[in-house]
Homo-oligomer: A and B are copies of this chain.
């Protein structure tokens, strides 16, 4: 990773962290619920989705500040999905990013409500953003709800649960991850470009890039779960196997998964080229996502 990209990411992460806290602080939410929402928001994620959204916006000449509220909304939805995924009835995880999961720190009822609260607040954030026109707000709410709802991420989550203990084919695994992880990453890229001023053709060309980027992200996640550094990841290695998850390394072996990822990277870069964005920030971010170690 270049020094320039590294400092770009760190700076953007910092801005997102500050903005998330200040956004939620300003709301009128009962104390325990607000604490629980902030606890998970402030647990120090990589902010990959907001960073991708900003980079996508900037690649089309937009100002990253113009996507800030939408980026916060997306990160709130990502965070809610982690809180609910960690619940005893789902993956039953005790730690995330080196800290107790929300229901371990608070209790299950609070964690369920904190998730519900973050999900709902994200739509209010977009619909209240004075920087966006009414047209933009309806487009973004529709696309975000589509990406994160039962036809998107929530649908992917149930398919993922159903695939536990099952043999899955590569195309089934890809379909699960297109929904479960891919849809939010796609929304980050497409909405950033949309707000940044991309035209219809450019948005269409980005669809394929966004699709492969989601898959790259997920394969790397699976690879890190078998060969990553527990300290860096903030969670135990091997949790996918313990949870009988369908993963790329399980299906293809570790070296097969790495090859598969490299194929996705090539395809993502080709799509970026078609969109006229070779050598852009998005190009550099693709390598970063593919090679990240946490």
Indicate if the CB atoms of A138 and B134 lie closer than 8 Å: yes
* A123-148 interface with B by 8 A CB criterion: 123-124, 126-128, 133-135, 137-139, 141-142, 145-146, 148
Partner of A149 from the list B108, B121, B161 (CB cut-off 8 Å) is: B121
- Complex Cα spacing A109 to B109, Å: 14
Partner of A137 from the list B90, B137, B158 (CB cut-off 8 Å) is: B137
A-B contact pairs, 10 of them (CB 8 A): A30-B162, A33-B154, A33-B155, A112-B112, A113-B157, A120-B145, A120-B154, A121-B150, A124-B141, A134-B135
Indicate if the CB atoms of A158 and B32 lie closer than 8 Å: yes
Partner of A87 from the list B80, B112, B149, B151 (CB cut-off 8 Å) is: B112
Minimum CB–CB distance from A121 to chain B (whole Å) comes to 5
Indicate if the CB atoms of A155 and B116 lie closer than 8 Å: no
Answer whether A145 and B121 are a contact pair too, CB < 8 Å, given A29-B150, A89-B107, A116-B115. yes
Answer whether A158 and B123 are a contact pair too, CB < 8 Å, given A138-B137, A138-B138, A150-B29. no
- Complex Cα spacing A146 to B112, Å: 18
In the complex, what residues of B have CB within 8 A of residue A134's CB?
133-135, 137-138
- Complex Cα spacing A22 to B89, Å: 30
Indicate if the CB atoms of A29 and B161 lie closer than 8 Å: no
- Complex Cα spacing A146 to B29, Å: 11
In the complex, what residues of B have CB within 8 A of residue A29's CB?
150-151, 155
* Chain B residue at minimal CB-CB distance from A117: B150
20 additional A-B residue pairs with CB within 8 Å, beyond A90-B109, A117-B155, A118-B150: A28-B151, A29-B155, A30-B159, A33-B155, A34-B150, A37-B150, A89-B112, A113-B158, A116-B116, A116-B154, A120-B148, A120-B149, A121-B150, A124-B146, A127-B145, A133-B134, A134-B138, A137-B137, A137-B138, A141-B141
Q: Mark A21-48, 1 if CB is under 8 A from B, else 0.
A: 0000001111011100100000000000
Indicate if the CB atoms of B150 and A123 lie closer than 8 Å: no
* A119, CB-defined interface residue at 8 Å: yes
In the complex, what residues of B have CB within 8 A of residue A139's CB?
127
* A78, CB-defined interface residue at 8 Å: no
